[in-house]
A and B are shown apart, each in its own frame.
Chain A
Amino acid sequence: MSARHGCGGEPDRGWGESSLLVLPRIALGGVLLLAGWMKLFHNAWNGADPAWDFANTIKAYDILPAGGNADALVVFAAYAVPWSELLLGLALVLGVWSRAAGWLSAVMLAAFTIINISVVARGMDLTCSCFGEIEWPCSGGISWCHVGRNAALMLVAGLIAWRGGGRVALGWLLGDRSSGAGRQGWADEE
């Protein structure tokens, strides 16, 4: 690894760290892409309506106002959240705006984790709908397994938010140095 310094004075660990960041970044991006796709498009051409399923799941969480006109917020969330996942997943897989995608993913996953804890604590028997019909590695109703899974993904997102997406990324190729490995947060960015 090189000993060069980033523009903020922190050591730029360069290609060595970049190569280590590729796997978690792409893995998290893939998970988010899958989650978004399953919530919006899975089997849609066969008449399925996964967004409706997800909207009902959000409503069942009983965390947003619902009923009557308030259902519009639930329905909007049922579309906006999966689209966020798709955009974040795409950004992470490609390595574009990696640090921003990492921050936002971490915040979103933290929210999911808190919601899951809330569901478990309230003793509710609800399905997650996190990945549509896919239930790996957690199956059945929302449990501590789901909490743990989301927390683990949140840590990965936090890693990317902290360290950036590395140099093995489209953003780096395009000249974006704000998300490179070794940069330390907001202060390094222009």
Chain B
Amino acid sequence: MTTLIRILAIVGAASLLGAGHLLTRSTAIVLRVDMQPVPADAVTDLPGEPALAQPEPLEPIEPVEDAGGDAPPAADPTAAGEGNTERAAPAISTGVRKIGLAEAATLYNEGVAFIDARTEREFAAGRIYGAYWMPAQRVFTEAGQNDLDFVDPSLPVVVYCTGGECDASENTIARIRAAGYDWPDIRIMQPGYDDWLAAGLPVETGSPGEGDQP
């Protein structure tokens, strides 16, 4: 009987610790509605969207001076995006649609905010220049929401991860919405960071807040 009693004791202790740990959370857990990852052959281009393999040439974008805060030094969407608020941004009914590299590059040059949904290690190893680091787990943190407050909701927002079957972008978007950010035009850059890098588009490396463009 000793072993049985001990097993029950371990189960009970784990349940109590788990429940106690859960109660210490400052925010409720909001689970994703759809956990199925995006298939590799998912639709990446909507009618009229430029082909992925032919990104438009970019004008080099000058680095933004570090404001001195903890927030990732994103390209300032409000400053660079002036004049674009009237631009039509067709979105599907969910408010999220997948875009290709060419459209993402165009939006980048127009100064919209890019959100990197990958892990900190991946983000530090290389990211789209000026992107915010925002894996899903960071959305409900104070630092994460400080960064999200910088995003101009009147402009499109582009979220990306590694591309292909990665579903981190959808995780982040689900959490952003759960956190109350009612952005009307969120787009997922389906090709992912590696394709952006391979296309020779602006990138930077370093830990969040320590970016330096190669």
Chain A interface (Cβ within 8 Å of chain B)?
40, 43, 46-53, 55-57, 59-60, 66, 71, 74-76, 78-84, 86-88, 91, 97, 99-101, 103-104, 125-126, 133, 178, 186, 189-190
The answer to whether A97 touches B141 (Cβ under 8 A) is no
Inter-chain contacts of A46 with B (CB < 8 A): 120
B1-39 Cβ-contact flags toward A at 8 Å (1 or 0): 111101101110111011101100000010110011100
For the complex, give the distance between the alpha carbons of A71 and B15 in Å.
17
The answer to whether B3 touches A47 (Cβ under 8 A) is no
The answer to whether the Cβ of B143 comes within 8 Å of any Cβ in the partner chain is yes
Inter-chain contacts of B7 with A (CB < 8 A): 100, 103-104
Within the complex, what minimum Cβ distance (angstroms) separates A176 from chain B?
9
Inter-chain contacts of A66 with B (CB < 8 A): 31
Beyond A49-B140, A103-B7, whether A84 also contacts B37 by CB under 8 A is: no
Q: Specify which of A79, A86, A100 is in contact with B3 (CB 8 Å cutoff).
A: A100
Residue of A nearest to B171 (CB): A56
For the complex, give the distance between the alpha carbons of A83 and B171 in Å.
25
Chain B interface (Cβ within 8 Å of chain A)?
1-4, 6-7, 9-11, 13-15, 17-19, 21-22, 29, 31-32, 35-37, 119-120, 135-138, 140-141, 143-144, 165, 171
Beyond A50-B137, A76-B22, A125-B165, whether A83 also contacts B31 by CB under 8 A is: no
Inter-chain contacts of A190 with B (CB < 8 A): 2
Inter-chain contacts of B136 with A (CB < 8 A): 49, 52-53
For the complex, give the distance between the alpha carbons of A189 and B21 in Å.
34
For the complex, give the distance between the alpha carbons of A51 and B13 in Å.
18
Q: Specify which of A50, A59, A97, A103 is in contact with B32 (CB 8 Å cutoff).
A: A59
For the complex, give the distance between the alpha carbons of A131 and B96 in Å.
31
Beyond A47-B144, A49-B137, A84-B14, whether A75 also contacts B3 by CB under 8 A is: no
Query: What are 18 A-B contacts defined by CB distance under 8 Å?
Result: A40-B21, A43-B137, A47-B137, A53-B136, A60-B35, A74-B31, A75-B31, A76-B18, A80-B17, A80-B19, A83-B13, A83-B15, A83-B21, A99-B3, A100-B2, A101-B10, A186-B3, A186-B4
Inter-chain contacts of B3 with A (CB < 8 A): 99-100, 103, 178, 186, 189
Inter-chain contacts of A133 with B (CB < 8 A): 119
The answer to whether B17 touches A126 (Cβ under 8 A) is no
Q: Specify which of B4, B22, B144 is in contact with A79 (CB 8 Å cutoff).
A: B22
Where chain A touches its partner, the secondary structure class is helix
Residue of A nearest to B175 (CB): A52
With A83-B17, A87-B14, A190-B2 already in contact, 5 other A-B pairs whose C-beta atoms are closer than 8 Å: A57-B35, A59-B35, A76-B22, A100-B6, A100-B9
For the complex, give the distance between the alpha carbons of A189 and B143 in Å.
54
Residue of B nearest to A46 (CB): B120
Within the complex, what minimum Cβ distance (angstroms) separates B31 from chain A?
5
The answer to whether A87 touches B31 (Cβ under 8 A) is no
The answer to whether B2 touches A104 (Cβ under 8 A) is no
For the complex, give the distance between the alpha carbons of A88 and B11 in Å.
10
Within the complex, what minimum Cβ distance (angstroms) separates A142 from chain B?
12
Inter-chain contacts of A40 with B (CB < 8 A): 21
The answer to whether A75 touches B6 (Cβ under 8 A) is no
Beyond A49-B140, A53-B137, A74-B31, whether A84 also contacts B19 by CB under 8 A is: no
The answer to whether B13 touches A87 (Cβ under 8 A) is yes
The answer to whether A97 touches B4 (Cβ under 8 A) is no
The answer to whether A91 touches B10 (Cβ under 8 A) is yes
Closest 4 CB pairs of A and B: A100-B6, A80-B18, A79-B18, A60-B35
Q: Specify which of B17, B19, B37, B135 is in contact with A48 (CB 8 Å cutoff).
A: B135
Most chain A Cβ neighbours within 10 Å, of B6, B19, B135: B6
Residue of A nearest to B141 (CB): A47
